[in-house]
Structure 1
Amino acid sequence: MAKSPEMQRFQFIAADVSKTNYVERVVADATGLKNERALEFVWCLAGVSTPMLWTNDNALEAAQHNMDVNYSRSAKMSRAIMRARLLPGHGKQQQSSTPTRRPIPKHIAFTGSVLSTFSLAGHGTYCPSKLALRALADTLAMEARLA
């Protein structure tokens, strides 16, 4: 429930992150719902885990699949959102006609389990992808402060 329903809307857009060009469609659909303004909150939820020992025959393939879904797909989405927010011409943000208003805070949330912060035996195919996502989140937080 929105704190101020007359000013806030909660909407979601489901996306098949296995599709190559899903990011462009999602960002276009979402900004269209927002009258071409940059999105205030984006939540990246894609994730998969394939627990197995590192010595298993298909551990490297599983690790690559986990990295593709858990890290790469969220990295692509966050990059598209950051570009729409920060770079002229990549997002059709409307400038406020009242310059005294404080800018609306914007957020990108990444979802991960507790294994995003430490590793555990049997999850060598999963943990690196979520640790990489955690490092990306930290980097984006710093880069957003530069803008």
Structure 2
Amino acid sequence: MGFFSWKNHFEVDGRTVVITGGSQGMGRGLGKLLAQKGANVVIVARNQQKLDEALQYISSASKSPQTQRFHAISADLTKSEENTRLLEEVTAWNDGDPPDIVWANAGMSHPSLFIDTPLDTLRSQMEINYWAATYLAHATLKLWLRQSSSKSVPTEQKSAKPRHFIVTSSVACFAGIAGYAPYSPAKSALRSLADTLRSELNIYNGYRRTHATGAPEADVKVHCVVPGTITSPGYAEERKTKHAVTKILEEGDLSQTEDEVAVAAVRGLEKGGYLITTQLLGHAMRAGALGGSPRNNWFVDTVFSWVVNIAWLFIGPDMEGKVFNWGKKNEVKLPA
């Protein structure tokens, strides 16, 4: 991104965007915001009634009601074939053109202690939070990267706007927190997948630069958005299974509404970010756990990481001490 960049790297006006998990929470907020920016929006979720209600809410915010289009698809994204089906349906609805932007946002958390969690729940958490996005990525990239049938590359294709595949991870991917064993591994795997896809896509984007025929129609960019606590219906459900010690560790954490997290996420995309956090706590956690992920701003991220690494000398022991002391003072459920 560099120090200063005023270019919009995420133009959506007139483009078609698919958002999974679009019937409530962050997905609904994204749909509304992108509609305000002129996008044609397709939302995907399981519950048709919630989809219909969300679609009405999103379409009412459209920038150009006469020209923008909106659609809802009910699908179980934990099945690979459903991801292929939804892309086929979107392409047909979009006059034969694949969507320009696909946002793998579907997911949910079932926080609980590891040994208290049934194995079926551990598996289902991986399915909805990792495999659903992975299936969608696989189907989308195969669609976008297929060989062009054109014998020559049209002028507009040479300068085509890039397509964007975006995954929604969680700040839980940056640090292990007691009570998130069912959820954090899936979100960590999702971040790793995004890192890997970002690297691999250089093959195909580079190929477009040197091949006049048969190349993919546009560059493809991958992004990983990493929100923290979102005050949504899903968060209310999480509280029902969340262990007391997890609540202690999260005391004082910043939270965002669905609209606030949508604005922060899209702002990061417009600035050209790759690993995008949406509030101050997330920014700090990202800086301290970048590893091999690319830096959005090499200077800011480097300095911030120094500060966070020093702060973690105090934060880490404090958090571990809270968990240790909870075990000392409370009755602990042990396996039979």
| CA 1:78–1:5: 2 relative to 1, 3 Å | closer
2:43 counterpart residue number: 13
Which residue does 1:134 correspond to in 2? 191
Aligned to 2:165: 108
| Equivalent runs, 1:8-47 vs 2, <5 Å | 9-14=39-44, 15-19=75-79, 21-47=81-107
Distance change in 2, residues 1:121/1:145 (3 Å): same
1:65 equivalent to 2:124? Answer yes
Give yes or no for the alignment of 1:83 onto 2:142.
yes
- In terms of fraction of residues, the more strand-rich structure is 2
CA RMSD of the aligned region, Å? 2.8
1:138 and 1:68, CA in 2 relative to 1: closer, same or farther beyond 3 A?
same
Unaligned residue ranges in structure 2 (runs of 5+)? 1-10, 17-37, 45-74, 205-336
How many residue pairs get matched?
A: 142
Q: 1:129 to 1:81 in 2, by over 3 A?
A: same
Structure 1: state its 5+ residue gaps.
none
Q: Is the contact made by 1:13 and 1:30 (CA closer than 8 Å) also made in structure 2?
A: no
TM-score by structure 2 length? Answer: 0.38
Quote the sequence identity (%). Answer: 27
Aligned position for 1:52 = 112
* CA shift in 2, pair 1:50/1:23, >3 Å: same
Partner of 1:74: 133
Which of the pair is proportionally richer in helix? Answer: 2
The amino acid that maps onto 1:87 is R
Partner of 2:251: none
How far apart, in 2, do the equivalents of 1:6 and 1:80 lie?
A: 19
Q: Which has the larger radius of gyration?
A: 2
Relative contact order, higher structure (CA 8 A, sep 6+): 1
